[in-house]
Amino acid sequence: MVKFKAAFDKNIVPDRKVKLSISGDPETLVSIWAGKGLLATTASEKIIRMWNLKYDENYNLTLANTNFEDRISDDLFTNIAYCPKSKTLAACTNKGKIVFFKSKLEELSPRSEDHWDLM
């Protein structure tokens, strides 16, 4: 992925290049912005990959080690959506369930999985 910026002379120049990798099905890849400089992706996987481009950090949101893990342990995330007003990430599964993650931070984009609450 390449992020561009507009220079003062009206030229568009590359600002940052990042290699994004997934282990799921690339045909089902869904990518959205989930905060300023925070890219969320899923590709029919058990995880949501979070890429914080500003800080060059990445982490995963998962259901492991939660009370919900046994109820949807075989589900795969197939789609995601983000509401900036409530700072909530909604994730749909292949078996028709929806899981919500809410950011604990008021101003900044979450930099780790610890900054999200599973609803």
**Nearest Cα residue to 115 out of 52, 42, 56, 22:** 52
Q: Residue 107, Cα to own-chain centre: how many angstroms?
A: 17
* pLDDT category of residue 78 using cuts at 50, 70 and 90: very high
CA–CA distance, 41 with 81 (Å, rounded to integer): 10
Residue 72 lies in a domain: yes
Residue 15 lies in a domain: no
Residue 105 lies in a domain: yes
Q: For residue 43, give both structure tokens.
A: 């590709």
Residue 100 lies in a domain: yes
CA dihedral sign, ordered 10, 35, 79, 16: positive
For the stretch 15-57, pLDDT in tens is 777 666 667 777 888 999 999 889 999 998 889 999 988 888 8
* pLDDT category of residue 104 using cuts at 50, 70 and 90: very high
Residue 12 lies in a domain: no
Residue 9 lies in a domain: no
CA dihedral sign, ordered 6, 12, 17, 18: positive
